[in-house]
Structure 1
Amino acid sequence: MFIQTETTPNPATLKFLPGRTVLAEGVLDMPDADAALVSPLAQRLFDVKGVEGVFLGDDFITVTKGAGEWAQLKPAILGAIMEHFMSGAPVVSENAVLDSTDGDEFFDPKDASIVDTIKDLLDTRVRPAVAGDGGDITFRGFRNGVVYLNMKGACSGCPSSTATLKHGVENLLKHFVPEVLEVQAA
């Protein structure tokens, strides 16, 4: 098994590509070891000293470190990923609920068509780019011209996430949806 690694814009997060499907659908964000109880793979990764966050996508795993250097952590993380896939254990437990949204969305029902356009743009133009950086972005709400989004994985806590939201996503949404005045992190 050959696992590729890629850097992300977040220096505390690396993206691991095991060359196979990680999650067939949805994503799973585990910002701490307690959240990892739904994933045997994430539990193995949290057993590596210095791992502080795990995010699972369709064909990638992002790992966020706390203390330590990547030179020391990376071999242990690669070993944990390889060991997990070679064991045949499931990536997630049967009862795991994968993230498709962040709970209840908020918007005025009269703005439903605007929200549909925003979600379509996020799904087709923004999410693939964010996934390329090892993260995810989800719609939370729309009120008074402001779109509220949640960044996950490598994008959560990334120094450039504010720039991504303000300059990338906000400009895109304003261009296609004149009702959008601003984008904010939820």
Structure 2
Amino acid sequence: MAEQLTAPAAPVSIYAEASPNPESMKFVLNTQLLADGVSVDYPNLEAAANSPLAQELFNFDYVGRVFIAQNFVTITKTTEHQWAQLIPELRTFLKSYVEAGGPIFTVDPAAEQRAAQQAAANTGDASEADQQTSQKIIDLLDNYVRPAVEQDGGNITFKSYHEGIVTVNLQGSCSGCPSATVTLKSGIENLLKRMVPEVKEVVAEGVTASF
């Protein structure tokens, strides 16, 4: 059985921080949950099999998505409840859970993330040139996009590159965020086009927008 990864049992302080997505709230802790540069996104309970913390959060009937990064948890709600009513309950739960040394993950998300990125960059039918381009895109997303997007409680990850089209996944507060598609086009697409001439367009899986 994989060793359970737990946060250190110590006094924990947590504050809630609004994100550009009105349905998502970022809960920032004074302790580390994950290594820097690693994050995990759970769009539903079934996806959270490797995170006891996320499973516990899904027990709240208004929790629809959980995103965990280095020192914060972004929670996306599914109902018309107001955050003013939900924040105290969630903050109390997170504080108690982490202070008690509750397990955060049952497998190392860093290893899973590295494997997923390598698989995405080296698909079997991709040419060597496309694999090199994919790796450049992954590096740019990791070094330039991720730090900025994490400040808003989410992440944008690489899924595929084919014939000039980059497909990404929106995670955490970015999923369903009204401003995410604007950021995608005006920010990320322009960056990738400038740094990787082969890129013609950036699209997000499951997102349709007109520009």
Partner AA of 2:93 in structure 1: A
2:98 to 59, 63, 85: 85
Runs of 4 or more above 6 Å deviation:
none
TM-fit CA distance, 1:81: 0.3
The question of 1:63 aligning with 2:75 is answered: yes
Alignment correspondent of 1:76: 89
**Aligned: 1:150 with 2:169:** yes
How many Å separate the matches in 1 of 2:118 and 2:171? Answer: 14
* Letter matched to residue 25 of structure 2: L
Map residues 80-119 of structure 1 onto 2, 5 A cutoff: 80-94=93-107, 98-100=112-114, 101=116, 104-105=119-120, 106=123, 107-119=126-138
The size of the alignment, in residue pairs, is 186
| Correspondence 1:40 to 2:57 | no
Pair 52,102 (structure 1): closer, same or farther in 2 beyond 3 Å: farther
Task: Write the distance in 2 (CA, Å) between the matches of 1:94 and 1:180.
Answer: 34
For residues 23 and 97 of structure 2, the distance between their equivalents in structure 1, rounded to whole angstroms, comes to 23
* TM norm structure 2: 0.80
Equivalent-residue separation in structure 2 for 1:9 and 1:108 (angstroms): 38
The Cα of 1:73 is off from its aligned counterpart by: 0.9
State yes or no: 1:13 paired with 2:29: no
8 Å contact kept, 1:48–1:76: no
Report if the CA contact (8 A) 1:27-1:57 is conserved: yes
After TM superposition, the structure 1 stretch with the greater mean CA deviation from structure 2, 96-105 or 159-168, is 96-105
| Structure 2: unaligned runs, 5 residues or longer | 1-11, 206-211
Give yes or no for contact 1:12–1:66 (8 Å, CA) kept in 2: yes
Distance 1:180 1:95 in 2: 32
For residue 104 of structure 1, report the CA deviation from its aligned partner. Answer: 4.3
Check the 8 A contact 1:44/1:80 in 2, yes or no.
no
CA RMSD between the two structures: 2.0
Q: How do 1:163-182 residues align onto structure 2 when only pairs under 5 Å count? A: 163-182=182-201
CA distance in 1, matches of 2:117, 2:64: 21
Task: Describe the SS at the equivalent of 1:139.
Answer: strand
Deviation, structure 1 residue 103: 8.5
Is 1:104–1:140's contact at 8 Å kept on the other side of the alignment? no
Change over 3 Å in CA distance of 1:172–1:77 after alignment to 2: same
Fraction of identical pairs, as percent: 42
- TM-score w.r.t. the length of structure 1 is 0.90
